[in-house]
Every structure is written in C-alpha cells, then in structure tokens.
Amino acid sequence: MAQMRIKDIAAEAGVSPATVSRYLNNRPGQMTEETRARIAAVIERTGYRPRAAARNLRSSRTNLIGVILADIANPFSSAMLEGLSSSAAARGCSLMTAISGNDPAKEAESLVRLIDAGVDGLVVNTCGGNDEAIAAAAGRLPVVLLDRDVVDGGVDLVTSNNRELVAGLVDALAAAGSERLCLLTEASDDSPVRRERAEAFADELSRRGLAGEVVTLADGGATGVGRLDETIRGYAGKKLGLIAVNGLVFLRLTEALAQLGPSLPAGLKIATFDDYPWNHVLFGGVTTAAQDTLTIAERVVERLSERIDVVTTTVGEAAKLAPKRIEIPGHIEHRASTSR
C-alpha cells in the first residue's frame, strides 16, 4: 500500500475510521483499553501518519504559526526565531517564516502569503509602513506584534522594558563618572523602539539634571563616522558617555573609535543595547542592555495560542480578547566599558 489512510488502519484494526480518528485526537468517549491497544499496534506497525492537508481542510486548523521578521541579520531576531521555534514546537506547532529585510513591500507580500497558506496566527516584527494592513490582518486572525508596535494600537504587543533599560544604562554611565551623555541613533531607523528609547533617554537626562543629547548619524558609513568623530572631539575632555541605541550603531561607533586608537579615549565611557557575542570582547567588555529574548518568545507564543484557542473555541463574535501590551524585563550586563 503506497500511502496508508485512516480507513486502512481502521480495517486492519477491525474498527471504524471514526474510532481511529478518536484515538488520534484522544477524544472524549474513552474507548476500551483493548481497542486502543489494537489501534496503537497497527499504527506502530504500519508507521501510519495522518495527512495534514485533510485535517486542515476538515478542522480549518493548521497548527502553523506565521512569523515575519524585519531583519534577521540582527542577532535579536535570530535569537527570537530560535525561541519562537522551540516554544512553538513545545505546543506542537511549526513556524512559517518570512524575512522582510526591512522592505515594507516584502512585508506586505509576506503578510498575504502566510495568511493564504492558512497559518493559525501571526507573529509580526514589523519594519513599518504596513500599519493598516497589519491592523486589518489582526481583525481576521490572531496577531501578536513583536518588539515593534503599529500606530493604530489595538494589536497585542510583546516588548522589552525599554524605558527601564535606558535608565539602567544611564545609571551605569553616571556611576562611571560621565557628565555628558549622548544617545547615538541612525537616521534610517525610525522605528517605535528607537523613538521610545530616545524619549526615555531625554526623560532620564532631565530627571537627573544631566547634560546630553540625541545624536543621529547620517546613513552611509563615512558620514556617520565623521559625525561621530566630530561629536567625540567636540566633547573632548568633558567626560563623555555614549549609548548606542542598538547593535548596528554600536558597530559603527566601534569603527569610528578604532580610528582614534585601540582603546577608549581617556574618560570616554560606552554602553549599548543588544547583547551581541562580541560585546564582551570589544574594549574589554561593553556594558549592555540585554533583552530577555527567550522569555519574550515564550510569551509571544503563549499569547498567540490564547487567541487561537479563543477563535477555535468561540462560535460567534463573542469573547474577543482585549489588546494587551506585555513588557518583558531585560537586564544590564555591567562590563569594563563603564568601570571607573
């Protein structure tokens, strides 16, 4: 027999297909231990596997979770993917992934492709520019936003406690003696995350009466490095503290500083977001605001599952879950770059 069907198993076990189906889904209406054993034996012996397409058609449930990632080159995203993958697998779900590469058009295309493929729910780490489409999608199936919000609101979001993390980095720099603080950002990055961190930074400065500013690097390496260099020189001798708003900016900062010499200019302190593997190597260790990617991933899948269960269980439009914002606390890794 080329491909076993549930009917064949039933025949071999001397029961009806319905019973085998009940066995496969361990449904209420306990069956005799004897029938159960007979069915189990036949399935074991034949290596039968139910056809997913048929189940999907009948149950309109696929156990597939769609994931759209903005930038997989960012270690935050890859860590997230690993976390999502294992959390989903633990629930018997598989991941359908799409990488937008920060291209809104690709993101939009992925959105429809994944939905068309029949995913039960969607995890979106948006690159922006598709807020309406995402909100619309959230109206049709469970959607949980990852790290980056959409303007509309109304969609679940799981993110880090960015404000506290900013405060933690400011603390570290202040404790290391920095008198003047800069938050380094990139012009091309206008994500809500960057904005939130920038706002929190400004708040922290005014709350403590510290001097400082947000420095936006122009795009394209050279200009950015020049701008940075200028900033550092401008503050020379003033006990400057620098915070890179994300790992990419930190890398550009490192490049710029490398031109000034292998170690940090006297009195310059540094801290950054995103715990990249090289953070504990460069400059003898860089103080870092690390996000708890594993917990974030777990909560994302958990929340999505809740929504999926509601959709599956509920008949009409009853019991709509209210949109929820979930903040997962990260922590500060104190390293040599902010030691006194």
Partner DNA sequence: TTGTACGCGTTATCAG
Partner DNA sequence: CTGATAACGCGTACAA
Residue 251's binding partner among its own copies, DNA, none (Cβ under 5 to 8 angstroms by kind) is its own copies
Does 46 engage in binding with DNA (CB under 7 A)?
no
Comparing CB distances to DNA, the nearer of 34 and 317 is: 34
Kindly tell me which residue out of 1, 12, 14, 191 binds DNA, with binding defined by CB under 7 A.
14
Rounded distance, CA 161 to CA 123, Å?
Answer: 19
Find residue 146's DSSP bridge partners.
Answer: 158
Residue 266 and residue 298 in contact, taking contact as beta carbons nearer than 8 Å:
no
Largest CA distance in the chain: 87
Comparing CB distances to its own copies, the nearer of 64 and 166 is: 64
DSSP codes joined into one string, 169-188? HHHHHHHTT-SEEEEEEETT
Phi, psi of 147 (to 5 degrees): 70, -35
DSSP codes joined into one string, 55-122? HHHHH----EEEEEES-TTSHHHHHHHHHHHHHHHHTT-EEEEEE-TT-HHHHHHHHHHHHHHT-SEE
* Shortest Cβ 112–its own copies spacing (Å): 8
Kindly tell me which residue out of 1, 34, 317, 318 binds DNA, with binding defined by CB under 7 A.
34
Does 304 engage in binding with its own copies (CB under 8 A)?
no
3-state SS, residue 36: helix
* Shortest Cβ 158–its own copies spacing (Å): 19
Residue 15's binding partner among its own copies, DNA, none (Cβ under 5 to 8 angstroms by kind) is DNA
- C-alpha 232: how far from its chain's center? 33
Per-residue x/- track, 58-87, DNA (CB under 7 A): xx----------------------------
| Sheet architecture: strand order including 269-273 | 211-217, 180-186, 240-244, 269-273, 287-290, 331-333
Does 94 engage in binding with its own copies (CB under 8 A)?
yes
Residues 237-276 interacting with its own copies (rule: CB under 8 A): 251, 254-255, 258, 262-263, 276
Kindly tell me which residue out of 5, 106, 180, 239 binds DNA, with binding defined by CB under 7 A.
5
Residues 188-247 interacting with DNA (rule: CB under 7 A): none
Question: Which residues of the chain form contacts with DNA (CB under 7 A)?
Answer: 3, 5-7, 10, 14-19, 21-22, 24-25, 27, 29-32, 34-35, 50-51, 54-55, 57-59
